[in-house]
Structure formats: structure tokens, C-alpha cells
Amino acid sequence: MNSRSIGRVLRWLVALALLGGTGARAEAPDYVLGIGDRVRVSVFGYPDMTADVRVDEVGSIRYALVGSLVVTGHSTREVETTLAQRLSEGGFIRNPQVSVLITEYLSRKVAVMGEVSKPGQYALTQRSKVLDLLAEAGGVVTGIASDAATLLRADGSKMDIDLFRLFKGDAAENVVIEPGDTLYVARASQFYVYGEVQRPGTYRLERRMTVSQAISAGGGLTPRGTERRATVKRRDASGDEEVLSVRGSDTLQPDDVLQIKESLF
């Protein structure tokens, strides 16, 4: 899959997210509250009891007539039920209809960094996977992003994500994102082509790209150019530069400098 195809896939995912197809911003029923989250508590028919409160450092909120209530590890529905019971059992309100709405998700943050359209932090409002998070971040930057990413787990471990296989539908690459994770999309490797090609310059190195494909990326040969005398400047493991003769079927490596020479005939 080339960079243009990857871009089309991600634009499709973004469109789904905007239409609600991925549920990236919708509050999920199984979301549990954590320290730092802010909620709006209201009771139907009692507008003076509406309050915006934040979950404090010990995992509690304070609410009128109820006092302190531990909410971490509980869903908004569970908190609604508990508050209603407290108000009813305390003789304050008969059959109260309590609503708890999350207004800020701060306890379940994840980050998307690197070559994406909208890098930054995002809230996990439901069980999300790598594709959901990429869609939330606007997709990878076409023509610049690598076809590989790294998932840095909150516990310090790392996982390589093959974006090429992911966008081809490989479910094994679409792993679940956890709070505190960081997804980093690297910049794609590049190569340089000069000499007898139509558009000399620096280009994105596609996976298993051959010399012939690199020449095509540069607009093809000039009338005087030939593929038969192509050479590549490449640095070896010690950093020393070497010049190699290559054929059209040979595969390029990151940072190769491909030179296309004039035909002798």
C-alpha cells in the first residue's frame, strides 16, 4: 500500500469518526471515573442542586446534602444510583432523578505524536484501538509518515505497530490502547535520486522499493539516461561511504543516494 492509499484509508476513518462510526468522542457505558475527571451532577426538578465537581486526589467528589463520595472505579450510572439512594435515604428528596455527565476526561489520557495531522493528547472515553486513535488524530501525514509506528506503554514497555499491515486489515496490529499510552508515528525513510531523471530530488522510500521504482518516482529517465549504469552511494555499518553498482531489481535502503548516468550509446 503506497502513501496515497494509506491517506485514503485514514480519511475514511476520520469521516467515520465524525459521523460517530468509531465512537471516538462518545461516552461509553463502561467508562469508569478517575482522579482529575470533572462531572456535572444535576437532579431533575431541582436546578439549584446542579454542580460541577472534580474528582479529587483521593478519588472522591463532594456534593450538596451528601458530602464526600468515592467515585473512582465506578461508572457514571453507578454514581447516579448511589447519589439517588443517599438523597432518598437522607429524607432530602423523594425518588430523585439524578444525572451525572462527564464534562472533562482527564484520568484516561493517551498521546499521539509524530507524523499525524493533529498530534496531542486525547481522552479514552471507551475501549479504543490503534485505528481509533489514529482517526482521532486526523490520520497519518500522507507522503511523510512511515509505515511503522511505536506504541509506548504506560509501564515502559514498547510495541512495534506495522501500519502497512494494519491498513491492510491485519487485526493483530490493531491492539487495544490503555490509559497513559503514547503512539508515535515515525517519519518515513527517504532516498535521493539525481542525474539523468526528470525530477531529481528527495523522495519517500516505500517498502521494498527497487531501483526501477525509484527512477519512476523521479519522473523516469531522461532521453539520455540509462538504468544499466546506475550506482548507489551508501554508508556501511561503520559509517563509511561506499559506491555500489546496482540493477533495476535491486532494493534501496534508507538514505541511499541513487545516481543515474548517461547512456554510452
Residue-wise pLDDT tens digits, 42-59:
999 999 999 999 999 999
Query: What pLDDT sits at residue 264?
Result: 78
Q: What is the pLDDT of residue 23?
A: 35
Longest dimension (CA), the chain: 101
Secondary structure of the chain in the HEC alphabet?
CCHHHHHHHHHHHHHHHHCCCCCCCCCCCCCECCCCCEEEEEECCEEEEEEEEECCCCCEEEECCCEEEECCCCEHHHHHHHHHHHHHHCCCCCCCCEEEEEEECCCCEEEEEECECCCEEEECCCCCEHHHHHHHCCCECCCCEEEEEEEECCCCCEEEEEHHHHHCCCHHHCCECCCCCEEEEEECCEEEEEECECCCEEEECCCCCEHHHHHHHCCCECCCECCCCCEEEEECCCCCEEEEECCCCCECCCCCEEEECECCC
| pLDDT score recorded for residue 14 | 42
∠ Cα 14 31 22 (to 5°):
15
Neighbours of 43 (CB within 10 A): 22
Distance from C-alpha of 205 to C-alpha of 193, rounded to nearest angstrom:
11
Q: What is the pLDDT of residues 85-136, one digit of tens each?
A: 999 999 999 999 999 999 888 888 899 999 999 999 998 877 889 999 999 9
pLDDT of res. 2: 52
Structure-block grid coordinates of residue 40: 456535572
Whole-number Å distance between alpha carbons of 100 and 122? 21
Residues pairing with 233 in the sheet? 243, 257
Under-70 pLDDT residues of the chain: 1-30, 265
- Give yes or no for a contact between 135 and 16, defined as CB atoms under 8 angstroms apart: yes
Q: Which domains does the chain have, with CATH numbers?
A: 3-22+108-187 (3.10.560.10), 38-104 (3.30.1950.10), 190-260 (3.10.560.10)
As a whole number of angstroms, the distance between CA 131 and CA 139 comes to 9
